[in-house]
């Protein structure tokens, strides 16, 4: 039988098609392949320019689809207050993010970028988002499950804007309330901070039982990559000065400041952000021993390490004095992604030159890119790079606001209730003839939310959608009760009016970071005068809205009740819920309340511990009986003494347990 004649041209053409078919299969694009296989395959295809681009994070104001294409940018962020438009809708956010993403996908290898935002107490940059209490309040709840549920809600509201990455949680252990970031810390006690890292499980999803410790985990499209920050010791800076030096021995560093990172890593946190501060004089952004030696090698963290905003610039003093050195020191220390955020071409040029000169090794760059790709693959960004509006209805959702309201209720700490040993002042009666509500923070949503709310520094007035404490009081009292509001009434006003009682709401103005550093810790003027003028003439409950304990001792004898409300966020109704007895007080101080700033720093267990209200203090009330139940007034010296004694005993136990705990944590990770 004769064979058909086949031309060599046909054979070559068939071979060409077969070759093209083989070339089209790229392992990194196959979700069925193991993550490590995908990383290795993609890394092997990348040029140096593509690798350096992946390590670069830029601000949205300098980003464009063309920039993404040209420089292979790996990440974009919104700085505090950086939005596509005032009061931008979810659709505006999604469209903006997708426009950038399309630029990234149009590159040779189509590596998706990851967009990050500071969602530190809800998606707080975004208008109409639910703004939860800041961490200082959540620490007072001592409720890890609440933190987890807040993480779940926050993830949904971040995804509503098309964003898959949140720079949260802050797991700093604030040891001095003069520090401007203290409101971002859950507690002065590392054990409370460790418990509250359950928020990571809400943000990223419950980690599988068989998950390898240290490997990042993000459950799906309704979750976001989280970021434990700021590594490490930022809460211990000398005299509470932001970006300052933390002077600490190894026992203090590993026993106080490091434990929340153990828990964060065990819970699969995707990223870790490095602190601006120094440890014993060594800048953290250049600290190879702690970033690479401890975080990556000892704790076996496999996600990526990101710098803070212009963080590598601050390696030198003044910042950016020797930028090339800063790039070298930062990347060689172990930073994988650099938050530039504006002058990214200089960073790219310097990093490229340093690699070409072998000052930064290619293996260090490959490690950085591998970690970034691991997070992106784990998140499913390669399969679902573009955002849509399927989560748009989650922004400011009623259920989320109810959750925030619950968090407010649980965060309130009752510090005083009555001026006599057997008579409590709270809860307040809903049926009263005439109530005065006063103070700078009673009808100011911006003040209520604090810093990192719509703008980086926060703001004043109706900055977003929410309920002020004044509006909450009005909606809670009986219809027959007259509620009169006067921010700072004078003597004549008080003489002309007959009030059943007064609620005075005062505190701190909004602030963030270094702007919040404060050596005085006084209430915002005219707060002290407002307390004096009102509480000397009518029985009053004072509500403090602040990011930390403030000076209050001089005014205590004037007031019938004192409540620490911290920074409650948008849902002020939670404050009224507890003031008027619909719910009880359950919050306990997660921070020591000092008598005088001269005592600072002062934490539970210190030899000179002599607080106004000790760590763990918090009264309860019995709303069914006119007298005290287990509640005691501030004047009960015996209870204060017992609380202090118990706190000191607890501290000694914790200290004794510290060494064992460190080794147990290390063994668990290993």
CB 53 within 8 A of CB 68: no
Q: Interhelix angle for 35-45 vs 362-379, to 10°?
A: 130
For tokens 């962020």, name the residue: 77
Q: List pLDDT tens digits, range 60-78.
A: 999 999 999 999 999 999 9
d(CA 253, CA 173): 11
Q: pLDDT grade, residue 634 (50/70/90)?
A: very low
What average pLDDT does the segment 595-614 reach? 98
Higher pLDDT, 19 or 409: 409
What average pLDDT does the segment 36-40 reach? 98
Answer whether 0.85 is exceeded by the pTM: yes
Q: List pLDDT tens digits, range 430-464.
A: 999 999 999 999 999 999 999 999 999 999 999 99
Distances (CA, A) of 241 to 313, 519, 644: 19, 9, 27
Q: Which residues are within 8 A (CB) of 642 and not within 5 positions of it... i.e. 6 or more apart?
A: none
> Token digits for 613?
């209200």
For tokens 């979750």, name the residue: 223
What is the Cα gyration radius of the chain? 27
Give the DSSP letter string of 344-357.
HHHHHHHHHHHHHT
Q: List pLDDT tens digits, range 543-567.
A: 999 999 999 999 999 999 999 999 9
Question: Residue 112: is its pLDDT beyond 80?
Answer: yes
d(CA 354, CA 363): 13
Q: Which residues are within 8 A (CB) of 216 and not within 5 positions of it... i.e. 6 or more apart?
A: 204, 225, 268, 269, 270, 271, 302, 303, 374, 375, 378
Q: Which residues are within 8 A (CB) of 184 and not within 5 positions of it... i.e. 6 or more apart?
A: 120, 134, 135, 136, 170, 172, 174, 452
Active site residues: 308, 513
Q: pLDDT grade, residue 622 (50/70/90)?
A: confident
Distances (CA, A) of 599 to 28, 155, 603, 611: 58, 40, 10, 9
**For 474-483, 534-543, 582-591, 632-641, which range has the lowest pLDDT when averaged over its residues?**
632-641
Predicted local confidence at residue 23, as pLDDT: 55
Q: Which residues pair with 338 in a beta bridge?
A: 56
d(CA 633, CA 630): 10
What average pLDDT does the segment 426-432 reach? 98
Distances (CA, A) of 74 to 91, 114, 297, 372, 424: 23, 7, 24, 8, 59
d(CA 588, CA 573): 20
Cα atoms in the Cβ-side hemisphere of radius 13 Å centred on 275 = 31
> Token digits for 26?
């790229």
d(CA 340, CA 310): 5
Distances (CA, A) of 540 to 282, 293, 437, 576: 50, 55, 10, 15
């Amino acid at each position: 039988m004769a064979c058909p004649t086949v031309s060599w041209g046909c054979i070559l053409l068939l071979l060409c098609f077969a070759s093209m078919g083989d070339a089209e299969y790229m392992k990194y694009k196959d979700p069925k392949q193991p993550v490590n296989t995908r990383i290795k395959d993609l890394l092997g295809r990348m040029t140096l320019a593509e690798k350096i681009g992946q390590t670069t994070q830029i601000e949205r104001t300098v980003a464009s689809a063309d920039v993404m294409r040209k420089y292979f940018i790996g990440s974009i962020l919104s700085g505090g207050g950086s939005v596509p438009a005032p009061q931008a809708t979810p659709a505006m956010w999604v469209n903006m993010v997708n426009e950038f993403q399309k630029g990234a996908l149009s590159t040779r290898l189509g590596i998706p970028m990851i967009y990050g935002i500071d969602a530190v107490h809800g998606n707080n940059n975004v208008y109409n988002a639910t703004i939860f209490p800041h961490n200082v309040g959540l620490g007072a709840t001592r409720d890890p499950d609440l933190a987890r549920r807040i993480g779940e809600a926050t993830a949904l509201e971040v995804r509503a804007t098309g964003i898959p990455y949140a720079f949260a949680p802050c797991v700093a252990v604030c040891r001095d309330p003069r520090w401007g970031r203290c409101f971002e810390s859950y507690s002065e006690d590392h054990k409370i901070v460790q418990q509250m890292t359950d928020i990571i499980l809400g943000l990223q999803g419950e980690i599988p039982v068989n998950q390898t410790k240290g490997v990042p985990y993000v459950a799906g499209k309704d979750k976001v990559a989280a970021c434990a920050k700021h590594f490490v010791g930022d809460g211990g800076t000398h005299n509470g000065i932001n970006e300052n030096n933390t002077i600490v021995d190894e026992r203090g560093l590993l026993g106080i400041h490091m434990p929340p990172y153990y828990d964060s890593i065990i819970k699969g946190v995707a990223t870790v952000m490095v602190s601006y501060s120094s440890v014993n004089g060594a800048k953290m952004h250049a600290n190879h021993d702690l970033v690479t030696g401890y975080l990556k090698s000892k704790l076996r963290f496999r996600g990526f390490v990101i710098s803070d905003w212009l963080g590598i610039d601050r390696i030198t003093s003044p910042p950016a004095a020797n930028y090339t050195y800063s790039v070298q020191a930062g990347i060689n220390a172990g930073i994988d992604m650099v938050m530039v955020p504006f002058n990214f071409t200089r960073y790219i040029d310097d990093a490229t030159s340093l690699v070409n000169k072998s000052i930064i090794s290619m293996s260090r760059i490959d490690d950085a890119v591998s970690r970034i790709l691991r997070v992106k693959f784990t998140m499913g960004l390669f399969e679902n790079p573009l955002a849509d509006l399927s989560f748009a209805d989650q922004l400011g959702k009623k259920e989320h606001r109810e959750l925030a309201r619950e968090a407010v209720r649980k965060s309130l700490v009752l510090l005083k209730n009555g001026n006599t040993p057997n008579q409590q002042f709270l809860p307040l009666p809903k049926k009263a003839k005439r109530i005065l509500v006063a103070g700078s923070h009673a009808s100011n949503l911006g003040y209520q939310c604090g810093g990192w709310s719509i703008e980086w520094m926060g703001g004043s007035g109706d900055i977003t959608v929410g309920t002020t404490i004044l509006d909450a009081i009005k909606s809670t009292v009986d219809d027959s009760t007259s509620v009169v509001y006067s921010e700072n009434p004078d003597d004549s006003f008080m003489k002309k009016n007959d009030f059943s009682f007064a609620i005075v709401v005062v505190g701190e103005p909004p602030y963030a970071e270094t702007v919040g550093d404060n050596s005085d810790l006084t209430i915002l003027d005219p707060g002290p005068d407002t307390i004096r003028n009102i509480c000397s003439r009518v029985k009053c409950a004072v509500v403090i809205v602040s990011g930390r304990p403030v000076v209050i001792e001089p005014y205590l004898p004037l007031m019938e009740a004192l409540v620490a409300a911290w920074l409650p966020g948008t849902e002020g109704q939670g404050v009224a819920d507890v003031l008027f007895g619909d719910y009880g007080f359950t919050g306990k101080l997660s921070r020591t309340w000092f008598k005088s700033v001269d005592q600072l720093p002062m934490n539970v267990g210190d030899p000179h511990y002599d607080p106004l209200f000790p760590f763990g203090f918090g009264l309860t009330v019995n709303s069914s009986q006119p007298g005290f139940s287990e509640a005691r007034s501030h004047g009960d010296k015996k209870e204060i003494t017992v609380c202090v004694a118990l706190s000191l005993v607890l501290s000694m136990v914790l200290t004794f347990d510290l060494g064992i705990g460190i080794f147990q944590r290390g063994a668990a990770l290993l």
